[in-house]
Amino acid sequence: MPGAVDQDTFDRSRRVGWLNLDAIFRTRVLMIGAGALGNEVGKCLALSGFRRVTVVDMDHVVGSNLNRCLFFTQEDARTGSKKAEVVARGIMDISPDARARAVVGRLEDLPGSFYDGFDIVLGCLDNIAARIHANSHAYHAGRPYIDGGMEGFIGRVMACLPPDGPCVQCGMNRSHAKVANMRFSCTGEGVVFHEPRLAAEITTTSIVSAVMVRECLKIASGRKDMTLRNTFYYDGQRNVAEEMEVPLDPRCPNHPPQVLQVSENHIMSGSVQ
In the complex, residue closest to Zn ion by CB:
252
Does position 254 interact with Zn ion (CB under 5 A)? The reply is yes
Q: How far is the CB of 71 from Zn ion (least distance, A)?
A: 33
Question: How far is CA 263 from each of CA 225, 249, 266, rounded to the nearest angstrom?
Answer: 17, 10, 5
Map the footprint of Zn ion across residues 108-167, applying CB under 5 A. 167
Q: Helix, strand or coil for residue 54?
A: strand
Q: Which is nearer to Zn ion, 203 or 273 (CB)?
A: 273
Edge-first strand listing for the sheet containing 52-57: 101-104, 52-57, 28-32, 120-123, 145-151, 154-160, 231-235, 240-244
Q: How far is the CB of 33 from Zn ion (least distance, A)?
A: 20
Q: Which is nearer to Zn ion, 190 or 247 (CB)?
A: 247
Q: Which is nearer to Zn ion, 83 or 229 (CB)?
A: 229
**Applying CB under 5 A, which of residues 32, 69, 157, 170 lies at the interface with Zn ion?**
170
Closest to 200 measured CA to CA, from 152, 238, 158, 248: 152
Q: How far is the CB of 137 from Zn ion (least distance, A)?
A: 13
Judged by CB under 5 A, the stretch of 25-33, 58-66, 204-212, 254-262 that binds Zn ion is 254-262
Map the footprint of Zn ion across residues 183-222, applying CB under 5 A. none
Kindly report the number of other CB atoms within 10 A of residue 105's CB atom: 13
The answer to whether 169 and 132 are in contact (CB under 8 A) is yes
Q: Which is nearer to Zn ion, 35 or 162 (CB)?
A: 162
Q: How open is the CA angle 177-142-89, to the nearest 5 degrees?
A: 85
Q: How open is the CA angle 12-13-18, to the nearest 5 degrees?
A: 130
Q: Which is nearer to Zn ion, 100 or 167 (CB)?
A: 167
Q: How far is the CB of 121 from Zn ion (least distance, A)?
A: 15
Q: How far is the CB of 38 from Zn ion (least distance, A)?
A: 24
Four-point Cα dihedral 176, 177, 182, 188, nearest 10: 10
Q: How open is the CA angle 266-268-271, to the nearest 5 degrees?
A: 40
Map the footprint of Zn ion across residues 223-252, applying CB under 5 A. 252
Which residues have a catalytic role annotated?
Answer: 186
* Cis, peptide link before residue 163, omega less than 30° from 0: yes
Q: Which residues bind Zn ion (CB under 5 A)?
A: 167, 169-170, 252, 254
